[in-house]
Amino acid sequence: MPESTEFDGFYAIYYQGEAGPGLGQIQLTEGKIIGSDVTGGIWDGDFAIDAVHELISCEITIQLPKGTPLATTGAPPVGNEAANMRFKLPLDFSTREYVALELPIGKVNVKFKRIR
């Protein structure tokens, strides 16, 4: 079982894609990521800390609800699709103004705010 990390907690996420903004929340706990966004997207995944490179490696799957336009492209998923994503966050992700991510569904700038 993974151990607790200094990053474990609840975060509000504010994101901006080419087609518009989005809002959600995530929980990081002992190497797991769970969350959701206001459009009904459900997020599940894992994270691992790479202290040598000062990064957090993340792998998540987002269940994209049918008919809701994506913030990245403005196009809605055809059906209840899943988007698998891998990305890296800097260790100071929650104190930065935003983090730019290039995802399979498009580019997005994300602001993380630790709630608790």
Mean pLDDT by 10 residues, the chain (116 residues): 82 95 96 95 95 94 88 81 92 96 92 96
**Cα dist. 19→45, 47, 70, 81, 108 in Å?**
25, 27, 7, 19, 10
Does residue 4 lie in a domain region? Answer: no
Does residue 3 lie in a domain region? Answer: no
**What tokens does 8 get?**
């474990």
Residue 64's pLDDT is 87
Does residue 2 lie in a domain region? Answer: no
Please state the domain count of the chain.
1
pTM for this model (two decimals): 0.88
Residue 5's pLDDT is 83
Does residue 76 lie in a domain region? Answer: yes
Does residue 60 lie in a domain region? Answer: yes
Residue 114's pLDDT is 96
